[in-house]
């Protein structure tokens, strides 16, 4: 009897060890997949600046952005609805559609503004200007939510402002001051949309909310494109093959795949780790712009970009984790 008890204890201990080993293997696999997803976000979202630059070479910017998001939304929406209903959620309410429309217009309207600006602003410079989004977020959070800023975030804001000054000083030749202003406006709009996304009603399923944002913002952007005359003057025969390919890349890889990867990363990795995309993306964009499009990296752009990336690091690393 004692031998049986002893054997049972050995078997139980071995069973626990095997269970712990299996769980650790599964956890490693999940985190490995999450890191792979974050790598996709780093590279793909950094490459979308190049994709936008190529797409607007022969495609009207508002029409391009509206088509991109409407098509991506139409593809994602049925899948997201099926997933949401399988999880026990019902149909989206009108209040949720209204909330997604507000957030979508601010977020994806910012992307459309970026598409407009990239006709006169190099993709690398545009990415560095958009990298100020976390700084705008900090400012809006302090102004709208009365969040107190510590010394490190304040230092980050000041360093970021100096960096923007260097980037603005690099504007010359074919780069317009208006394009730089539009890029900064796009960064502010994206930040405001992010802040409001926590206040307005949206679906619990992130993929469903994103597809609803794409559908509503895409429809609005196409309506604005029609009102501005872009649709009337659009001639498909004049669009180059590389612009069509860039649009396809932005729809499938930039919007659908990268966003899905972002959702995976957000669910499995710490918030501060996922937020690193904010200062990895501009590095990828500058490298692609200089190597593939021959964009010139001036000393002012290099210094300004380094200051902005440093500022974002200060702000992101001191940001509290999301709950």
DSSP assignment, residue 189?
H
Say yes or no to pLDDT of 20 above 80: no
Look at residue 51 in the predicted model and tell me its pLDDT: 94
d(CA 213, CA 223): 15
Token representation of residue 52? 């936008």
Look at residue 94 in the predicted model and tell me its pLDDT: 92
Q: How many CA atoms lie within 13 A of 221 on its CB side?
A: 32
DSSP assignment, residue 50?
H
Say yes or no to pLDDT of 271 above 90: no
Q: Do the beta carbons of residue 172 and residue 121 sit within 8 Å?
A: no
Q: Strand, coil or helix: what is 182?
A: helix
Say yes or no to pLDDT of 185 above 90: yes
Token representation of residue 186? 């796009």
pLDDT tens per residue across span 148-178: 777 777 787 788 778 877 776 666 656 678 8
Say yes or no to pLDDT of 318 above 60: no
Say yes or no to pLDDT of 206 above 50: yes
H, E, C per residue of 272-290: HHHCCHHHHHHHHHHHHHH
Residue 6: pLDDT band with limits 50, 70, 90: low
d(CA 93, CA 167): 44
- Tokens 């910012």, residue located: 110
DSSP assignment, residue 57?
T
Look at residue 322 in the predicted model and tell me its pLDDT: 39
**Would you call 90 exposed, middle or buried from its count of C-beta atoms within 10 A (0-12, 13-18, 19+)?**
exposed
pLDDT tens per residue across span 283-315: 888 888 888 888 887 787 788 888 888 887 777
Q: What is the DSSP string of 220-284?
A: HHHHHHHHTTTTTT--GGGS-HHHHHHHHHIIIIIIIIHHHHHHHHHHHS-HHHHTTHHHHHHHH
Residue 17: pLDDT band with limits 50, 70, 90: very low
Residue 321: pLDDT band with limits 50, 70, 90: very low
Look at residue 88 in the predicted model and tell me its pLDDT: 73
The residue among 248 and 161 whose pLDDT is bigger is: 248
Q: Do the beta carbons of residue 108 and residue 221 sit within 8 Å?
A: yes
- Best CA proximity match to 173, nearest among 48, 301, 305, 307: 301
pLDDT tens per residue across span 24-80: 444 444 567 888 988 998 899 889 999 999 999 999 999 999 999 999 999 999 998
- Best CA proximity match to 167, nearest among 135, 125, 116: 125
Helices (H), the chain: 2-55, 61-86, 94-117, 123-130, 133-145, 151-169, 177-196, 206-227, 241-249, 258-268, 271-274, 277-292, 299-317
Residues 265-287: what's their mean pLDDT? 77
Look at residue 245 in the predicted model and tell me its pLDDT: 97
**Would you call 117 exposed, middle or buried from its count of C-beta atoms within 10 A (0-12, 13-18, 19+)?**
buried
pLDDT tens per residue across span 103-158: 999 988 998 999 989 888 888 888 888 888 878 877 887 777 777 777 777 787 78
Look at residue 12 in the predicted model and tell me its pLDDT: 53
How many C-beta atoms surround the C-beta of residue 111 within 10 A?
23
């Amino acid at each position: 009897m004692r031998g049986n008890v002893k054997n049972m204890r050995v078997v139980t201990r071995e069973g626990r060890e095997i269970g712990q080993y299996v769980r650790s293997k599964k956890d490693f696999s999940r985190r490995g997949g999450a890191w792979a997803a974050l790598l996709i976000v780093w590279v793909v979202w950094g490459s979308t600046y190049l994709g936008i630059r190529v797409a607007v070479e022969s495609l009207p910017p508002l029409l391009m952005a509206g088509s991109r998001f409407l098509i991506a939304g139409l593809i994602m929406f049925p899948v997201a609805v099926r997933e949401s209903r399988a999880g026990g959620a019902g149909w989206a309410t009108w209040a949720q559609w209204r909330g997604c429309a507000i957030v979508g217009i601010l977020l994806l309207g910012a992307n459309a503004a970026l598409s407009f600006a990239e006709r006169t602003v190099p993709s690398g410079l545009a990415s560095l200007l958009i990298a100020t989004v976390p700084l705008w977020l900090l400012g809006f959070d302090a102004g709208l939510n009365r969040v107190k800023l510590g010394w490190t975030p304040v230092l980050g804001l000041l360093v970021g402002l100096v960096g923007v000054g260097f980037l603005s000083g690099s504007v010359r030749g074919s780069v317009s001051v208006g394009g730089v202003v539009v890029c900064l406006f796009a960064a502010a709009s994206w930040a405001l949309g992010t802040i409001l996304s926590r206040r307005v009603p949206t679906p619990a399923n992130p993929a469903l909310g994103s597809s609803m944002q794409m559908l509503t913002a895409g429809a609005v952007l196409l309506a604005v494109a029609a009102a501005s005359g872009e649709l009337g003057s659009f001639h498909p025969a004049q669009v180059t093959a590389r612009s069509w390919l860039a649009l396809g890349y932005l729809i499938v890889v930039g919007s659908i795949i990268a966003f899905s990867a972002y959702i995976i990363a957000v669910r499995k990795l710490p918030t501060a780790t996922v937020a690193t995309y904010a200062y990895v993306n501009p590095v990828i964009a500058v490298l692609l712009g200089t190597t593939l499009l021959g964009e010139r990296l001036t000393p002012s752009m290099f210094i300004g970009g380094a200051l902005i990336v440093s500022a974002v690091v200060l702000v992101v690393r001191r940001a509290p984790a999301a709950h």
